[in-house]
Each structure stands twice: as C-alpha cells, then as structure tokens.
Amino acid sequence: MDHEKTGANIVLGVGAVVWNEREEVLLIRRRNPPRRNEWSMPGGKVEFGETLRAALAREVREETGLEIEIAGLIDVAELVRDARAGAEDAHYVLVDYCARARSGEPIAASDASEARWFSLAEIDALALWSETRRIIAESVRLRDRMSCPPAV
C-alpha cells in the first residue's frame, strides 16, 4: 500500500529507560497521542539531521528537565496503525536506550503532564503498553552486561 495515497507516515522516535541512584525508573504521563494520558518512557521524535542519541538527550531534557548519560541500546519497538492508541495513520519506529539521570529531580514539561520515579514493584502495578513493559524488563536483564545503568 502506498503511504502517500493513504496519508499514513513513518515516524522515527527515541525513548529511554532512565534510572536513578535508587534504582528507580523515570516515567512520564503522555500529554499527546499516541497513548495520551498513559505512563511511558520519556522520549519523542527525531528531527531531521539529528542523531538518535542527541534526539534522546534533547527529548528527555525537554520533557523532564533532566540531563542523562546514555549507556546503550536496548531494542526497537513499533506502533503500527493502532487507532486505540491514537496512531491510526502512523507507523512509529521507537529506538529505546538505557540511561542514568546525572542530577536533579524530574519536572514535567513539553509533552509530559507528569514525570516521576517508580520502583520496579510500582511499575509492575501500572497499566502500561506491553512494549513499554518489555523494554523496561529488557533493560533490567541487560543492565549488568552493558553497565546499564552506568555507575554514578
């Protein structure tokens, strides 16, 4: 199917499982679709000419005010034409990284209506998109191997 005829588009985005020194994960409540009002990892769209890592650092800073240290790539998630999530005419390709907050406490801004740290037990109790849950779980599995989160 030709995406130009359907109005559909491909969106490249980045996201981060951001850890703090208490081994908690930063989540934001999304202000905009897709997945509006749901808890998610901070991140957003990659701008033309921007590297993935630069986009990630910028998006986390814009949404939470935090500066991060990026440890490594976790995996890629996709959201394809999901009307329930608010993405009926889009294919999102989301490149997810593991990172550590360098300083400060998160303050919701930009595309985030809330930003806060969650323990893994608290995350287990949240209603999250299955891919968000999978990426966080993968970060937990990979953190020793790839120094994620990196030592403070």
- pLDDT tens digits for 37-75? 899 999 999 999 999 999 999 999 999 999 999 999 999
Encoded tokens for 37: 């009002």
Alpha-carbon span 114 to 62, nearest angstrom: 13
> Within 13 A of 13's CA, how many CA atoms are on the CB side?
21
C-alpha–C-alpha distance, residues 150 and 37, integer Å: 30
Q: For the segment 72-125, what is each residue's pLDDT rounded down to a tens digit?
A: 999 999 888 655 655 567 788 999 999 999 988 999 988 889 999 999 999 999
pLDDT at 104: 82
Whether pLDDT at 3 is above 80 = no
Is 114 an annotated catalytic residue?
A: yes
Mean pLDDT in residue range 126-149: 86
Preceding amide of 33 cis, omega within 30 = no
Structural domains in the chain, CATH included, are: 3-142 (3.90.79.10)
Amino acid at 43: G
Catalytic residue among 4, 114, 131, 138: 114
